[in-house]
């Protein structure tokens, strides 16, 4: 059984409605801001709402990758579009829904059911999604890589 882990994140205000996220464990910093839908928000900068949605999508991917590797699934592509819905509920803004749309390209049609099972297991096992109150829906798209036709 895995022990508990701590993940350190530091936030530093820069100016206006923008700041910066960093971690002593990581080399990159991320600029963050209030989203433009709110007064004083900024365009083209990551917001907490984007990061919240990205956390669910990235957890689905990393969980899928681990399970696929352990299961020996051969695939050539994984991507995941996502949309997080923010709405007013009982006088508070909440991220009420996250819709994940993973796309996986497998190398053979015979692995389609295996890929579906792995995606379902990844969705059920994602520790970030399991920690959220938001409704998470996953709509996968599994494709088979085009085979080269000998000339």
pLDDT digits (tens, 9 = 90+) for 88-103: 999 999 999 999 999 9
Per-residue pLDDT for 148 more than 60? no
pLDDT digits (tens, 9 = 90+) for 122-141: 999 999 999 999 999 999 99
Query: How many whole angstroms from its chain centre is CA 64?
Result: 11
Q: Is residue 147 very low, low, confident or very high in pLDDT (cuts 50, 70, 90)?
A: low
Per-residue pLDDT for 79 more than 60? yes
Q: What is the CA radius of gyration of the chain?
A: 19
Per-residue pLDDT for 73 more than 90? yes
Q: What is the pTM of this model?
A: 0.91
Contact of 74 with 107, CB cutoff 8 Å: yes
Which pLDDT does position 149 carry in this prediction?
A: 47
Which pLDDT does position 2 carry in this prediction?
A: 72
Contact of 139 with 101, CB cutoff 8 Å: yes
| Sheet strands (E) in the chain | 10-15, 18-22, 30-33, 75-89, 92-106, 135-138, 141-144
Provide the sign of the torsion angle of the four alpha carbons 21, 26, 29, 35, taken in this order: negative
Please give the C-alpha separations between residue 87 and each of 49, 101, 127, in angstroms, as whole numbers: 11, 21, 24
pLDDT digits (tens, 9 = 90+) for 10-49: 999 999 999 999 999 999 999 999 999 999 999 999 999 9
């Amino acid at each position: 059984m895995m022990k508990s882990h701590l993940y350190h994140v530091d936030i530093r205000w820069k100016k206006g409605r923008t700041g910066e996220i960093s971690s002593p464990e990581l080399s990159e910093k991320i600029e963050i801001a209030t989203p433009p839908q709110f007064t004083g928000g900024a365009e083209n900068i990551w917001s907490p709402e984007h990061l919240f949605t990205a956390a669910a999508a990235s957890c689905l991917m990393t969980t899928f990758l681990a399970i696929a590797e352990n299961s020996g699934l051969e695939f050539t592509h994984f991507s995941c579009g996502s949309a997080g819905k923010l709405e007013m509920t009982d006088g508070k803004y909440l991220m009420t829904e996250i819709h994940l749309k993973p796309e996986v390209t497998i190398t053979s049609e015979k692995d389609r059911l295996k890929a579906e099972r792995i995606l379902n297991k990844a969705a059920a096992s994602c520790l970030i999604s399991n920690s959220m109150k938001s409704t998470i829906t996953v709509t996968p798209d599994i494709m088979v890589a085009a085979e080269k036709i000998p000339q």
